[in-house]
Structure 1
């Protein structure tokens, strides 16, 4: 028996220390050696890396059938089952992975910023530290090419498009009222705080088939996920105060915030071109709930409510008389979204958003009371069908309920109301034939119950890498938009407005260091809404007889590398556009268009004093305006517009939380920019109408804020 056990242990010992040698060479499909490839036996530490000639060799104590794996960044992983009971010498051929970080990305018309984009353009910190923005997402986006300087508007005006031609989405769901209420001659600002978002995708044209209802552009905001820890924030500002509290648990977080704004004291200290009767006063509150359901699932719920009012006087040209314009109302926006994955290669997003707004606009003794409800449900599914082929498809349903009363001397002169169900669906594959060339064809279709029309919108985009950090891209597509509520409340016998986009772009570099981008575009408008003005100022004779075009060139340069601690970007836009729409008697350049727009933003961080200094400069050529004393429509131009703004952000710590002392001054030089001229409705004895200059409400806007975190 002892002999048997001795023989058994000898055999076991020999088998335990027997070794097989695995050697070979790793090559590309063209026969070129690949150094640095990791070759190993699955679930073991046995392996080696290929040398400069692609050769490798190692030994293993594993026996029988085992899986050998070879992996290297930029190439598809190679796997093969081998019998390790014999010596092995083999040749491994690796194929390029077309989804690598340096692969082509389809970017025509799109400026993206999120964790998955290597060409990030603008994040929430950029918004807060851009001097001219004053913490407004929309104002910061206006430093990007393709936008118009709009100190008297505040909304995004993109590549010749009116403000209604840009749609805003949060986590893929529509935000129907992204701005505070707009009143004549006074700029508004965005409704949502930049700190809610960690990603911004600004599409100046040629955007994905996933989105519709925007003739010019879409702004897609991606909200943050779970915060890192608990936090309390208090903000003391020259125009009000805010407070927020964030609680973080293992897989869940809740944030609540509230704020109050009042410009009464500010108006008393600084001169304003607006004759305020009641400066802006508003309150707002919001709550954000996030819950991670598992490794790939995330539930987000967001609600924001605000209420505000203002009143001011404007000259009428009638013996010094003035008309009172007032506005008050509230808005509630909610957004519920969930994303998860069916499998490693199939994921989905579902959600619902709603916007309720009750707004009252006063025009002397007249009132325009508007109530609007917008609810959208949406889902999208993404499949990684194979290496280099991704398919995205989905659908949405948007319900809009609108009611407006026009009250004259306390009598209801007019009531406009309509309901609309907008159904939309899309499918969009993205195909990368190699890491240097990819295409994205897509198609979208929509049906509006209010106007009882379908549309079909094919779209196509492509990109070609021309170097390690350079690529060409192009896009074409049809884009439709349901007529605005101001028209549907009067007449639903209308059709979709339409625009066709043509875009070609060249991009070089990486935004983490230096990025240059040039993009040429052309848009053709059809079926724009036209009308004539009735005696009461309401549109009549509504038709889809409008048309127009917009073409131009956008340039962008950003440099974060040349000077340590210094980040700057430069933009220039040229546009040539005319259109016949609304009440225009002929095709003309719209009043909000400057042919040339330039902006420069620079930020420098001084590490020794934990302070960032920033400056932004914007300039624009004159805008057209209509002088009723001449025979040509929108033929005259204002003088050139310019603005220099400065800011300073000093960071200090309270415990382990950072706080910020912030100060900014807009229009430091005090330029008395005339933005437009508004004709009065009263003529003098010679039949000439008085023109009232439209200027920014405050020549220099000074903002001081102390943002404390605990």
Structure 2
């Protein structure tokens, strides 16, 4: 027995002598103690955490040269080789990481909290519950600063830019026709349902070199991943009906949906300003497939097709004559994308999108048939060179074919067509010198085969964190766009249109709490397309001699904290802009511009009755219009525009699935807003002295929907 005890005692003493003690303290570069840092020997369980004073101590049986590691969230990982032949006492100094959650992010021109780390400024629920939007992504975005409240258009008009100057991307791939067809005096709406997307990134200018062909802004819609569960939905609405079903398996999900819209009931019940011959009627079918083969990869496939038609009579003069305008068309859009990572530091995105549209516009006895096909392939690679440097580079190729035939009752009078291959490449590093300072230089180059021209577009953005939740951002860049199809069908001897952006912004707070943003900008236009109106109103003498400017201030405030259950945002935009383009005889403010625009959107959730009440108010100063009876161009202005809209959303459950009863009323006060004036002849822009006021179709728009999920 004594022998056994002696052996155990001897073994314990030997083991105790074999252990090495490692101790020390952990400090910041400023000499401050850092608690909670993990210090350990690489590939072992031997280690400890620093205490409140930054001190640590532990023992290990490891011998020889070993790697000692110190790590903590918000700090760069520290490594050092130590000799464990005897006890070690060491002082560790670790540096803050530039990639902490509170690190600076480049946000100039982009209305998001940041690129990916936090939520976008607008989620699908924001779109659905914004009273004035009626479920339209584009209408909800118009409550953001920098946009125009153009209710007679429906498309995004950003910082003085025309509607064609904003490009829409779905999962990084172009959506060539993001709106339904536009006809005179009738506003259009966005083609994509908000429920498709997990977030919206709205860039009002100074956007990344990854995107091009947009003089003013880009709207990036990021689609959702795998569906969470099986669900079947039926929607009954005052404008039509919709049905969808979703099935979820282990690594895949599939959603099928269809909808039908018919506004004939509105035409019979309400007093409408438009003389409808055939109110809007349309149908849509969609399929969404998702496949997630591993933790980092996901394949997305989205296909949608719709067809619609309408017809109405529009005034042609004071004598009571009118012209019948009709429109019918079919559009098919597909989007296939895949993203994955090659390693922990390198990820990639590849994809292809296509848009086909066949549209027929009837103008009294004349017909204009337009067929367009657009297909884009794109790839991008993101490589984390280090904690402080991220490099993004890639390329895209876009093919567009266009054919238009104009036929009058007397016979064929015009046809035009063209094909274009647009090839582009970009490279854009993002460098964080510290968690308070970052820069993002970039360059993009494009070649268009139809005009046989190259462009090179340098861009630069920076951000400086001035406080815990405050930062300054700035951006500069050159942006190019190929002339529109309406011009290329007549003349391909043209050049890229060009705009140069200058942006300075200040941001304080965070989007999940309170966020304030103020942004000043200036945009210089050159090489804009100008022309004279020729026979059959076709442009003639097309040239790149147009120019202009746009400058202003945008302010945004969102508060989700001050009042429990209450979320609201307020925006204000001021703009001063003039340009000479299209048929303008001189530099003037475009007819879609209001110098001052203010919006308020508020939503209050009442938990006891599972109901959200919402309201939105928009006011805008008068827009310019041209009176051919005066000598100056676009020197008249409409009266100021105001709109108050209200809604409510009541949530109830069928089994474990939630359903919604939704009601909204637009323009509650019934203001008879005159949106613009146009010459009585649709074909004329300057010759007629008689003007027709352009108004909303309905003074008050009532919408009721019952959205059931099973």
Q: TM-score, normalised by structure 2?
A: 0.96
Deviations 1:130-176 (Å, cap 9, x if unpaired)?
11111110001000000000110000000000000000000110000
1:221 is matched with 221
1:243-258 to structure 2, matched below 5 A, reads 243-258=243-258
1:610 is matched with 610
Is the Cα contact below 8 Å between 2:241 and 2:259 reproduced in 1? yes
1:656 is matched with 656
Deviations 1:467-506 (Å, cap 9, x if unpaired)?
1111111111110000000000000000000001011111
Is the Cα contact below 8 Å between 2:107 and 2:114 reproduced in 1? no
For 1:105 and 1:114, locate their aligned partners in 2 and report how far apart those are by CA, in whole Å.
6
For 1:46 and 1:605, locate their aligned partners in 2 and report how far apart those are by CA, in whole Å.
51
2:211 is matched with 211
1:528 is matched with 528
Deviations 1:32-84 (Å, cap 9, x if unpaired)?
21122222344555433322321122344555655433222210122334454
Root mean square deviation of aligned Cα: 1.9
2:518 is matched with 518
Is the Cα contact below 8 Å between 2:138 and 2:155 reproduced in 1? yes
For 2:461 and 2:659, locate their aligned partners in 1 and report how far apart those are by CA, in whole Å.
44
1:321 is matched with 321
Q: Tell me how far 1:679 sits from its aligned partner.
A: 1.5
C-alpha change, 1:115 and 1:539, in structure 2 (3 Å) is closer
Deviations 1:366-411 (Å, cap 9, x if unpaired)?
0110000000000111111112111111110000000000010162
Tell me how many residue pairs correspond in the alignment.
705
1:359 is matched with 359
1:540-619 to structure 2, matched below 5 A, reads 540-619=540-619
> Which deviates the most, 394-403 or 3-12?
3-12
For 1:512 and 1:669, locate their aligned partners in 2 and report how far apart those are by CA, in whole Å.
32
C-alpha change, 1:667 and 1:318, in structure 2 (3 Å) is closer
For 1:414 and 1:21, locate their aligned partners in 2 and report how far apart those are by CA, in whole Å.
90
Deviations 1:158-200 (Å, cap 9, x if unpaired)?
0000000000000110000000000011110000011111121
Is the Cα contact below 8 Å between 2:139 and 2:154 reproduced in 1? yes
Q: Tell me how far 1:112 sits from its aligned partner.
A: 2.3
Name stretches of at least 5 consecutive residues in structure 2 with no aligned partner. Answer: none
Counterpart check, 1:266 vs 2:266: yes
For 1:614 and 1:115, locate their aligned partners in 2 and report how far apart those are by CA, in whole Å.
28
> Which deviates the most, 388-397 or 4-13?
4-13
Q: Tell me how far 1:242 sits from its aligned partner.
A: 0.5
For 2:115 and 2:625, locate their aligned partners in 1 and report how far apart those are by CA, in whole Å.
43
Q: Secondary structure at the match of 2:466?
A: strand
1:340-419 to structure 2, matched below 5 A, reads 340-409=340-409, 411-419=411-419
For 1:642 and 1:532, locate their aligned partners in 2 and report how far apart those are by CA, in whole Å.
35
1:9-24 to structure 2, matched below 5 A, reads 19-24=19-24
Counterpart check, 1:135 vs 2:135: yes
1:624 is matched with 624
Q: Tell me how far 1:201 sits from its aligned partner.
A: 1.0
Counterpart check, 1:494 vs 2:494: yes
2:54 is matched with 54
1:197 is matched with 197
Q: Tell me how far 1:6 sits from its aligned partner.
A: 9.4
1:669 is matched with 669
For 2:144 and 2:119, locate their aligned partners in 1 and report how far apart those are by CA, in whole Å.
14
Is the Cα contact below 8 Å between 2:179 and 2:188 reproduced in 1? yes
1:36 is matched with 36
Is the Cα contact below 8 Å between 1:114 and 1:123 reproduced in 2? no
For 2:216 and 2:151, locate their aligned partners in 1 and report how far apart those are by CA, in whole Å.
20
Q: Tell me how far 1:88 sits from its aligned partner.
A: 2.2
Q: Secondary structure at the match of 1:386?
A: coil
Deviations 1:408-441 (Å, cap 9, x if unpaired)?
0162210010000001011111111111111111
C-alpha change, 1:409 and 1:16, in structure 2 (3 Å) is farther
2:148 is matched with 148
Q: Secondary structure at the match of 1:401?
A: strand
Q: Secondary structure at the match of 2:111?
A: strand
Q: Secondary structure at the match of 1:76?
A: coil
> Which deviates the most, 31-40 or 195-204?
31-40
Counterpart check, 1:240 vs 2:231: no
For 2:85 and 2:15, locate their aligned partners in 1 and report how far apart those are by CA, in whole Å.
13
Q: TM-score, normalised by structure 1?
A: 0.96
Is the Cα contact below 8 Å between 1:113 and 1:201 reproduced in 2? no
Q: Secondary structure at the match of 2:268?
A: helix
